[in-house]
């Protein structure tokens, strides 16, 4: 046990999409900011080289955490840069439907497209954004686009946070899911951390916050490093940026649950299911940019799902392909002949994050009848697309994947039903703030990362004003 550390203006807990955005803004404004991140720090030269090492080294739980009924595999990043290092870097603004539903659920007046537009503009100005050039789109993308056209569905190219993927050199995005080796992907480890450090930001990687206490004039954070040594950090303020599960867990473990009964409730994950078409000719879906298109069909949005052209590494595909022994092997042998489309549902039925024995995280998350209907509608549309393109067999993945982990500390005006107020400060607190994915009041049905950055920028201004 070591002693107490010197006092900082702000301690940011979690160095992911939100945490590093806030750290950059507050450091740039002259605050003394300390960051705590449970995961390790890598560079383009040191990111793991294989899919299995990526899972083991960049995610909590050694790769996959399961919901209590084991129906959804949760992928929770644990690395400096958080989700922005391992994600697919698709950058979408929320539409009016998402913001209107956020506003209705939370009572927060600025959840409107026009009010959020300036924050989106600032978020977009910090990253390079590109659409994969048409001549680089791979065969899996062609199946998606032409299959959509054949069915009269609308699709659109995806916008990715990338600077120069140099596809002409044979680079594949599948590798960048384990951290980009050519610093093209615009993770916050690349776009925010160096700027923050230039302005004095101190980051302690492999330091996990295990408790937080609010005192009248400061915040105390209890920290455990990789070797098990504990220490205490003192700061005027804390920003919780450890994601939906991380924030809920820290607050519950720190005894905030009695004051704020909504902690851990309202957990959403946009459950995603990968469905495959087996084709006679090779598809090589792993080759080149693995994602180029998304559905842009108003009918799909109304029905509560979206489709994306996607693929994954062989270990992940093996986990998702149903069946055992020879039946499973038969599909895996045809890996290079698989076309793949994913249905992502806008889940309506919230889950709950709890603490189990010895503080272990338990995530209860089930699909209700409406969520299952959305999944079915999406799977039917995929079937139509793959059949139109001549798939000889269709295999539907059974296990859901939870990549967009949202809620647990919802923003809202009612302290009985929410955790964080309009000023991004915990109800009943004046020193603890949050603006990451944990504050989502429901599932938007749209990729969340850009909106998390926009909210974090807005929150940074609010925190600076409060500090002044």
Ligand X SMILES: Cc1cc2nc3c(=O)[nH]c(=O)nc-3n(C[C@H](O)[C@H](O)[C@H](O)COP(=O)(O)OP(=O)(O)OC[C@H]3O[C@@H](n4cnc5c(N)ncnc54)[C@H](O)[C@@H]3O)c2cc1C
Interface ranges with ligand X (CB under 6 A): 13-19, 36-39, 75, 77-79, 82-84, 86-90, 208-209, 241-243, 246, 250, 403-404, 436-437, 447-449, 452
Taking the complex as a whole, how short is the minimal distance between the CB of residue 349 and ligand X, in angstroms? 19
| Euclidean distance between the first and the last CA atom of the chain, given in angstroms as a whole number | 34
In the complex, the smallest distance separating the C-beta of residue 428 from ligand X, rounded to whole angstroms, is 21
Contact 160, 90 (CB under 8 A): yes
Total count of residues recorded for the chain: 468
- What is the smallest separation between the CB atom of 329 and ligand X, expressed in angstroms? 26
Least distance to ligand X, CB of residue 15, Å: 6
DSSP annotation of 134: G
The residue number whose beta carbon is nearest to ligand X equals 16
Nearer to ligand X, 177 or 389 (CB): 177
**CB nearer to ligand X: pick between 24 and 78:** 78
Distance of CA 151 to the CA centre of its chain: 31
**C-beta of 295: minimal distance to ligand X in Å?**
14
Cβ distance to ligand X smaller for residue 18 or 425: 18
Q: How far is CA 36 from CA 78, 291, 355, in A?
A: 12, 32, 22
**Biggest CA-to-CA distance, the chain:** 68
Question: In DSSP terms, which residues pair with 174 in a beta bridge?
Answer: none
- CB of 207 vs ligand X, minimal distance in Å: 7
CB nearer to ligand X: give 246 or 271: 246
Give residues with Cβ within 8 angstroms of 460, minimum separation 6.
21, 22, 25, 26, 29, 435
Identity of the residue, 79 or 379, whose beta carbon is nearer to ligand X in the bound complex: 79
| CB of residue 36 to ligand X, shortest distance in Å | 5
Q: Burial code of 200-229, b = ≥16 C-beta within 10 A, e = fewer?
A: ebebbbbbbbbbbebeeeebbbbbbbeeee
Decide: residue 71, CB within 10 A, 0-12 exposed, 13-18 middle, 19+ buried.
middle
Distance between CA atoms of residues 286 and 87, nearest Å: 16
Q: Which is nearer to ligand X, 337 or 346 (CB)?
A: 346
Kindly tell me which of 306 and 404 has the beta carbon lying closer to ligand X: 404
Query: Of 86 and 391, which has the nearer Cβ to ligand X?
Result: 86
Of 435, 345, 418, 380, the closest CA to residue 17 belongs to 435
Give the residue with the Cβ less far from ligand X, 158 or 379.
158
3-state secondary structure 45-73: CCCCCCHHHHHHHHEHHHHCEECCCCCEE
Return the beta strands (E) in 41-187 as ranges. Answer: 65-66, 72-74, 129-131, 155-157, 159-161
Q: What angle do CA 406, 238, 188 make, to 5 degrees?
A: 55
Which residue, 245 or 389, is less far from ligand X as judged by CB? 245
Point out which residues pair with 395 in neighbouring strands: 276
Quote the least distance from Cβ 261 to ligand X, whole Å.
21
Neighbours of 134 (CB within 10 A): 10
Q: Smallest gap, in angstroms, from Cβ of residue 450 to ligand X?
A: 6
CA 397 to chain centre: 21
Q: Please, what is the minimum distance in Å from the beta carbon of residue 280 to ligand X?
A: 30
Where in 281-371 does DSSP place strands (E)?
293-295, 305-309, 338-345, 352-355, 361-364
Work out how close the CB of 182 gets to ligand X at its nearest, in angstroms, rounded to a whole number.
18
218/235 Cα distance (integer angstroms) = 6
Q: Which helix (H) or strand (E) holds 402?
A: strand 400-402
- Which of 241/463 has CB closer to ligand X? 241
- Provide the minimum distance between the beta carbon of 55 and ligand X in the complex, in angstroms, as a whole number: 10
Nearer to ligand X, 338 or 401 (CB): 401
């Amino acid at each position: 046990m070591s002693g107490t550390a010197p006092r900082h203006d702000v301690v940011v807990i979690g160095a992911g999409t939100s945490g590093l955005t806030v750290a950059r803004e507050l450091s740039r404004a002259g605050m003394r900011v300390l960051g705590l991140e449970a995961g390790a720090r890598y560079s383009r030269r040191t990111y793991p080289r294989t899919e299995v090492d990526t899972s083991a080294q960049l995610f909590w739980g050694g790769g996959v955490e399961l919901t209590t009924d084991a129906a959804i595999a949760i992928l929770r990043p644990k690395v400096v840069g958080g989700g922005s290092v391992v994600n697919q870097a698709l950058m979408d603004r929320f539409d009016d439907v998402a913001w209107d539903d956020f506003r209705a659920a939370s009572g927060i007046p600025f959840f409107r497209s026009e009010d959020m537009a300036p924050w989106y503009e600032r978020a977009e100005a910090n990253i390079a954004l590109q659409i994969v050039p048409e001549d680089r789109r791979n065969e899996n993308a062609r199946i998606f686009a032409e299959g959509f056209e054949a069915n009269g569905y609308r699709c659109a190219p995806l916008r990715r946070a990338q600077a120069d993927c140099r596809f002409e050199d044979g680079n594949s995005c599948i590798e960048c899911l384990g951290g980009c080796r050519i610093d093209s992907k615009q993770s916050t480890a690349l776009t925010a951390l160096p700027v923050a450090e230039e302005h004095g930001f101190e980051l302690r990687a492999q330091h996990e916050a295990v408790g937080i206490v609010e005192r009248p004039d400061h915040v105390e954070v209890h920290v455990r490093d990789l070797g098990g040594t504990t220490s205490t950090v003192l700061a005027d303020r804390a920003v919780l940026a450890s994601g939906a599960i991380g924030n809920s867990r820290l607050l519950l473990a720190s005894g905030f649950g009695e004051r704020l009964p909504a902690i851990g409730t309202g957990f959403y994950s946009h459950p995603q299911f990968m469905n495959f078409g087996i084709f006679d000719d090779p598809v090589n879906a792993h080759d080149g940019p693995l994602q180029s298109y998304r559905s842009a069909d108003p009918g799909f949005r109304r029905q509560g799902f979206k489709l994306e052209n996607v693929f994954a590494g062989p270990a992940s595909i093996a986990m998702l392909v149903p069946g055992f022994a020879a039946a499973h092997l038969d599909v895996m042998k045809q890996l290079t002949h698989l076309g793949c489309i994913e249905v992502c549902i806008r889940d309506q039925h919230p889950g709950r994050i709890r603490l189990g024995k010895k503080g272990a995280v338990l995530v209860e998350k089930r699909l209700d009848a409406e969520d299952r209907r959305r999944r079915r509608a999406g799977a039917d549309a995929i079937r139509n697309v793959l059949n139109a393109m001549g798939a000889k067999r269709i295999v539907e993945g059974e296990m859901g994947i939870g990549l967009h982990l949202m809620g647990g500390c919802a923003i809202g005006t009612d302290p009985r039903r929410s955790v964080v107020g309009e000023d991004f400060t915990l109800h009943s607190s004046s020193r603890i703030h949050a603006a990451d994915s944990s504050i989502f009041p429901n599932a938007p049905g749209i990729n969340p990362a850009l909106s998390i950055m926009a909210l974090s920028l807005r929150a940074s201004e609010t925190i600076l004003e409060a500090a002044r």
